[in-house]
């Protein structure tokens, strides 16, 4: 068993079928997590609501100690940014009250990312964005649904300005649990978001060699994702405060280690940056359990 992993939570694993080659599959991921006595894993997928996958595992392996959960990234292949799509995800399970534990706005099909990828104008215009004057009616309805069900809002890969607008609107509509992917944010943006009592997510993918290779993420085009240096990561975590930080692997792509190994390596790297084991425990155990109510 790998040290660090016992009783930990990796809320960001890509082991579902994909147009990219995967390093693993759901069954192997569950086996590794169970063998390393992890507390829980969360499945993410740009093409489907993963609460169905999580429910299937729980139905057929009822004796697992490991908790497994899923949710919806509202990418176009998974139904898009739609109130009805979000509503359906909440009941997508074999069990009562066991659907999506999170709903995420798009991670790749956003104007912010499309502009970075130098997509064509028609593509960019079709992508999700948050207007300066605030979320649209449809987006607001989704936020109200998230608030009503008290599940996690994942802000997706929006620009810093859009993220702040979305978080502010979500809080005003009663959303209590918010996770903000923050790998490419600045300390200034993190400071602005801290007043809203959100959790900041940092992932192994963004400090790994995967950022050096063009990959397909939502379609046939290959693009690189902008990575960060470990020194920058250290500064961002300190700015956010470990009590507000969640670490994840974001593994599953074939050029990276299997998720449990990537997560272990990331935890080790963060520990070597000077963070104490108490701070590490917040970032890989306490915060995720509290946020996802698991």
For 167-217, write each residue's pLDDT tens digit.
999 999 999 999 999 999 999 999 999 999 999 999 999 999 988 776 767
Give the ranges where the chain is alpha helix by DSSP (H). 26-35, 51-60, 83-89, 111-116, 121-126, 137-149, 160-172, 187-194, 230-240, 259-272, 277-281, 287-292
- The model carries a pTM of 0.96
Per-residue model confidence (pLDDT) at position 130: 98
Query: Poorest-confidence range of 35-44, 114-123, 256-265?
Result: 114-123
Residue written as token pair 């005003």: 172
Average pLDDT over every residue of 60-82: 97
Per-residue model confidence (pLDDT) at position 22: 83
**Average model confidence (pLDDT) for the chain?**
94
Per-residue model confidence (pLDDT) at position 17: 83
Per-residue model confidence (pLDDT) at position 216: 65
pLDDT tens for each residue of 25-63:
999 999 999 999 999 999 999 999 999 999 999 999 999
pLDDT at 3 over 70: yes
pLDDT tens for each residue of 91-100:
999 998 899 9
Per-residue model confidence (pLDDT) at position 125: 95
pLDDT at 81 over 90: yes
Per-residue model confidence (pLDDT) at position 18: 80
Measure the CA–CA gap between 53 and 62, rounded to whole angstroms: 14
Angstrom CA distances, 15 to 56, 69, 227, stand at 14, 13, 21
Average pLDDT over every residue of 158-163: 98
Q: Is CATH 3.20.20.140 the classification given to domain 9-292?
A: yes
Residue written as token pair 């809320």: 11
266: confidence class by pLDDT, cuts 50, 70, 90:
very high
**Start-to-end C-alpha separation, the chain:** 22
Per-residue model confidence (pLDDT) at position 202: 98
SS3 state of residue 262: helix
Residue written as token pair 């989704």: 142
Q: Where are the domains of the chain?
A: 9-292
Per-residue model confidence (pLDDT) at position 2: 77
Percent of the chain with pLDDT over 90: 87
Average pLDDT over every residue of 240-258: 95
């Amino acid at each position: 068993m790998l040290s660090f992993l016992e009783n930990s939570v990796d809320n960001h694993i890509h082991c579902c079928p994909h147009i990219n080659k995967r390093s693993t599959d759901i069954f192997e991921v569950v086996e590794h997590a169970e063998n390393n006595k992890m507390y829980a894993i969360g499945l993410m997928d740009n093409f489907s609501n993963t609460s169905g996958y999580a429910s299937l595992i729980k139905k057929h392996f009822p004796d697992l100690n490991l908790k497994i959960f899923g949710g919806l990234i509202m990418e176009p292949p998974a139904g898009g940014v739609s109130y009805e799509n979000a509503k359906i995800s909440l009941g997508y399970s074999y069990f009562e009250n066991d659907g999506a534990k999170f709903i995420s706005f798009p991670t790749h099909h956003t104007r912010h990312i499309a502009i970075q990828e130098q997509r064509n104008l028609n593509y960019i215009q079709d992508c999700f964005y948050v207007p300066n004057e605030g979320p649209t009616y449809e987006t607001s309805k989704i936020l109200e649904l998230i608030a009503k069900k008290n599940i996690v809002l994942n802000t997706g890969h929006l620009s810093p300005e859009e993220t702040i607008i979305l978080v502010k609107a979500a809080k005003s509509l009663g959303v209590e649990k918010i996770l903000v992917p923050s790998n490419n944010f600045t300390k200034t943006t993190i400071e602005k978001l801290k007043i809203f009592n959100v959790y900041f997510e940092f992932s192994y993918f963004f400090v790994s060699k995967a950022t050096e290779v063009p990959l397909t993420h939502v379609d046939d085009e290959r693009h690189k994702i902008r990575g960060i240096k470990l020194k920058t990561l250290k500064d961002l975590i300190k700015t956010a405060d470990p009590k507000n930080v969640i670490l994840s692997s974001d593994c599953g792509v074939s050029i990276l280690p299997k998720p449990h190994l990537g997560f272990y390596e990331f935890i080790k790297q963060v520990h070597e940056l000077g963070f104490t084991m108490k701070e590490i425990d917040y970032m890989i155990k306490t915060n995720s359990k509290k946020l996802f109510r698991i």
